[in-house]
């Protein structure tokens, strides 16, 4: 799925990916592999955050190196409210979205008056500011983070059940996927892509480019806030590390790896990167020295994989399928 009609191979890939994700919990139960549910919940959460980033990076050409702060913001709202005895998920959601929108409006209004390297550095600077603010919150664990007293309570939806949490994350991914599909095919998406190609021409045609780009930035931030809330409930833990610049870098890698400017790309990129990370860090081939080498240097191997994908499949894993003629 992209902003234009996708070839059959891309559509088949998208359907198989989504159906495969939908079947993870029953397959995990059948094969007696409960860890799969936790692993793929993490994949869905990062896919959700990468989808949010992709709206500004892939469709708007805004290279944000600070989207991890919205992931951390969502997590800290859950953690802090839980710490004070407020575990009502609907209240947490309302507070997280309101706070996330306020921060994104303020940060976006400043950052979007710049472009290029200046935009990258300012988004990174704001993320680092929130990171060190979280480190300074000694009552909430400071640099060590803190455990959640309880997961978010959404009425009959029991997030202590790993399957329930998984399908909540999956439902949110589907909802955002559909919403973004409508968005990029609407006037909003066309203007956003026009701003990516030639912002001066769009402005000369009478389009309020700053308003469109700021709206996209806020929407993308709110999606990351939702991902942060899910992450807090998955790990039952919040820490400043959620806001680290390296997490923003991982989201960019997932987006590029899957395919910039495609709707399915961030999901494919998150799945590929996290499955490869999990596989290499725990690989056992039965050859002690080889297993030790791979397990200790799996990050280097992932780096090689990313370089190969960028060189061979320049548009990313899913983006390459979209770019094919048939």
- List the one residue out of 243, 272, 215 whose CA is nearest residue 47: 272
Q: What is the pLDDT, as a whole number, of residue 204?
A: 81
Residue 131, in any domain of the structure? yes
Segment 70-86 mean pLDDT: 95
Q: What is the pLDDT, as a whole number, of residue 61?
A: 85
Instruction: At 224, list the tokens.
Output: 């990351």
Which of the four pLDDT bands, split at 50, 70 and 90, describes residue 287?
low
Q: What is the pLDDT, as a whole number, of residue 86?
A: 93
pLDDT tens per residue, range 127-168:
999 999 999 999 999 999 999 988 999 988 999 999 999 999
Give the separation between CA 234 and CA 313, rounded to whole angstroms. Answer: 33
Residue 54, in any domain of the structure? yes
Within 13 A of 290's CA, how many CA atoms are on the CB side?
Answer: 5
Segment 40-54 mean pLDDT: 97
Report whether pLDDT(326) > 70: no
Dihedral (CA of 248, 254, 260, 266) sign: negative
Residue 66, in any domain of the structure? yes
- List the one residue out of 285, 250, 306, 319 whose CA is nearest residue 42: 250
Which of the four pLDDT bands, split at 50, 70 and 90, describes residue 219?
very high
Residue 109, in any domain of the structure? yes
Dihedral (CA of 83, 84, 85, 88) sign: negative
Q: What is the pLDDT, as a whole number, of residue 117?
A: 87
Report whether pLDDT(241) > 60: yes
Question: Is pTM, for the whole model, over 0.75?
Answer: yes
Instruction: At 123, list the tokens.
Output: 């988004």
- List the one residue out of 99, 79, 100, 81 whose CA is nearest residue 91: 81
Q: What is the pLDDT, as a whole number, of residue 223?
A: 97
Report whether pLDDT(325) > 60: no
Report whether pLDDT(17) > 90: yes
Instruction: At 173, list the tokens.
Output: 């991914």
Residue 238: in which H helix or E strand, if any? strand 237-238
Report whether pLDDT(3) > 70: no
Q: Which residue has the higher pLDDT, 17 or 189?
A: 17
Indicate the average pLDDT of the chain: 89
Which of the four pLDDT bands, split at 50, 70 and 90, describes residue 315?
confident
The domain spanning residue 304 has which CATH number? 1.10.3470
Report whether pLDDT(1) > 60: no
Specify the number of domains making up the chain: 1
Residue 1, in any domain of the structure? no
Which of the four pLDDT bands, split at 50, 70 and 90, describes residue 50?
very high
Residue 253, in any domain of the structure? yes
Segment 98-116 mean pLDDT: 93
Residue 249, in any domain of the structure? yes
DSSP assignment string, 120-169:
HHHHHHHHHHHHHHHHH-GGGTGGG-EE-SS--BBTTB-TTSHHHHHHHH
Q: What is the pLDDT, as a whole number, of residue 25?
A: 96
The parent domain of residue 126 ranges over 8-323
Residue 2, in any domain of the structure? no
């Amino acid at each position: 799925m992209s902003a234009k009609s996708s070839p059959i191979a891309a559509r088949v890939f998208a359907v198989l990916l989504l159906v495969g994700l939908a079947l993870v919990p029953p397959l995990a139960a059948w094969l007696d592999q409960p860890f799969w549910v936790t692993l793929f919940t993490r994949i869905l959460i990062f896919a959700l955050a990468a989808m949010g980033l992709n709206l500004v990076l892939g469709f708007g050409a805004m290279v944000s190196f600070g989207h991890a702060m919205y992931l951390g913001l969502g997590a800290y709202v859950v953690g802090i409210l839980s710490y004070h005895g407020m575990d009502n998920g609907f209240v947490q959601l309302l507070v997280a979205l309101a706070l996330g929108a306020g921060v994104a409006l303020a940060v976006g209004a400043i950052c979007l008056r710049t472009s290029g390297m200046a935009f990258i550095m300012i988004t990174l600077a704001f993320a680092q500011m929130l990171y060190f603010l979280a480190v300074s919150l000694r009552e909430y664990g400071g640099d060590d983070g803190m455990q959640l007293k309880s997961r978010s309570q959404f009425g009959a939806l029991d997030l202590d059940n790993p399957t329930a949490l998984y399908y909540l994350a999956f439902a949110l991914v589907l909802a955002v996927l559909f919403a973004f599909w409508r968005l990029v095919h609407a006037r909003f998406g066309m203007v956003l892509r026009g701003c990516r190609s030639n912002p001066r021409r769009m402005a000369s045609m009478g389009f309020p480019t700053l308003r469109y780009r700021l709206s996209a930035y806020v929407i993308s931030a709110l999606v990351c806030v939702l991902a942060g809330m899910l992450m807090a409930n998955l790990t039952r833990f919040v820490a400043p590390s959620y806001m680290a610049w390296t997490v923003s870098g991982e989201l960019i890698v997932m987006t590029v790896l899957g395919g910039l400017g495609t709707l399915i790309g961030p999901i494919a990129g998150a799945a590929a990167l996290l499955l490869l990370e999990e596989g290499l860090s725990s690989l056992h081939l039965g050859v002690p020295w080889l297993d030790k080498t791979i397990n200790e240097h799996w990050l280097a191997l992932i780096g090689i994989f990313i370089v190969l994908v960028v060189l061979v499949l320049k548009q990313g894993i899913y983006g390459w399928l979209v770019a094919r003629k048939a």
